Amino acid sequence: MTRPVLLEASDIKKNYGAVQALRGVDLTIRAGETIALVGDNGAGKSTLVKILSGAIRPSSGTIKFNGKDVSISSTDVARSLGIETVYQDLGLCNNLNVAENIFLGREEIRKLGPFSFLNKRVMRDKAAVALSGLSINTPHPNANVAGLSGGQRQAVAIARTKLWRSGLVLLDEPTAALGVQETKRAMDAVRQLQAEGVSIVLITHNMPMVKEMSQRVVVLRQGTKVGDVPTSAASGDDIVSLITGARQQWIEAA
């Protein structure tokens, strides 16, 4: 069964001065699928994800979302489309509490005559519901995020995607190798998102994670897409040879 296309990025280019970070990348993301986005350091993975999340603008190229041309000109625009980004440690405001982070940019307002108030109680209660069951150690909605563990921070970010029924979640894992516990936690987080039926783009350097979590693997090398295949069709060695350039290219229609 072929799933409907959620997002279609075409010929995306991004230059930073003389550096061509992306040299005309096409990417199709289908509803409910998880794509592993892999490539060497500097291949352009984060640049592509930042473009989809509205954090930066492409130099050229087009993006369709649900079949319509869109201009993802800011992270607010991305959120309004249902595109949410979860960075390992970024993406949360350390000066705000858990509930405020979950509601960032979408605060509940209570109107009283000419006055507007933040409806803190409603936000706190909804945050608690979204957070329940997401972490062994569920953070309190009033807790400051600065003091949370990595797992709790991730729970906050996932609660946000749950509450806002995001259609697409972008996960940019850190370059540094994750420890065993952190890898397990990251995989659990991805599984929770998959259970919600969202599409996921997962940047990871962890091959078991690619094999276990994704349906498709997309390989970037020096700003060019050199691999786009069903994960089940590619061995770990196949993927590595695309990353290093030992194999030139392997692209199958999505």
Ligand X SMILES: Nc1ncnc2c1ncn2[C@@H]1O[C@H](COP(=O)(O)OP(=O)(O)OP(=O)(O)O)[C@@H](O)[C@H]1O
Q: Which does 58 bind (CB under 5 to 8 A by kind): Mg ion, ligand X, none?
A: none
- Cβ(14)–Cβ(47) below 8 Å: yes
Q: Residue 43 binds what, of Mg ion, ligand X, none (CB under 5 to 8 Å, by partner type)? A: ligand X
Q: Six-digit token pair at 234?
A: 């590619």
Under 8 Å between Cβ of 20 and 70:
no
**Residue 216 to residues 22, 27, 170, 191, 231: CA-CA distances in angstroms?**
20, 11, 14, 15, 5
The β-bridge partners of 170 are: 85, 201
Query: Which position among 12, 29, 34, 44 is part of the footprint of ligand X (CB under 6 A)?
Result: 44
Pattern 8-27, binding to ligand X, x per CB under 6 A? --------x--x-x------
The rounded distance, in Å, linking the Cα atoms of 86 and 101 is 12
Bridge partners, residue 83, by sequence: 168
Based on CB atoms, which residue is closest to ligand X, 54 or 82? 54
Binding mask 23-62 for Mg ion (x = CB under 5 A): -----------------------x----------------
Residues numbered 171 to 200 that lie near ligand X (CB under 6 A) are 175
Distance between CA atoms of 83 and 49, rounded to whole angstroms? 11
Alpha-carbon span 181 to 251, nearest angstrom: 33
Q: Which of 9, 33, 35, 39 binds ligand X (CB under 6 A)?
A: 39
Task: State how far the Cα of 221 lies from the Cα of 128, in Å rounded to an integer.
Answer: 42
Is residue 43 at the binding interface for ligand X, with CB under 6 A as the rule? yes
Residue number, 46 or 135, with CB nearest to Mg ion: 46
Closer residue to Mg ion in complex, CB, 46/85: 46
Among 24, 32, 42, 61, the residue binding ligand X under the rule CB under 6 A is 42
Give the whole-angstrom CA distance, residue 26 versus residue 235.
Answer: 23
Taking CB under 6 A as the binding criterion, the range among 45-53, 125-133, 135-143, 149-157 that sits at the site for ligand X is 45-53
Nearer CB in complex with Mg ion: 90/146: 90
- How far apart CA 110 and CA 124 sit, in angstroms, is 14
| Residues lying near Mg ion in the complex (CB under 5 A) | 46
| Interface ranges with ligand X (CB under 6 A) | 16, 19, 21, 39, 41-47, 175
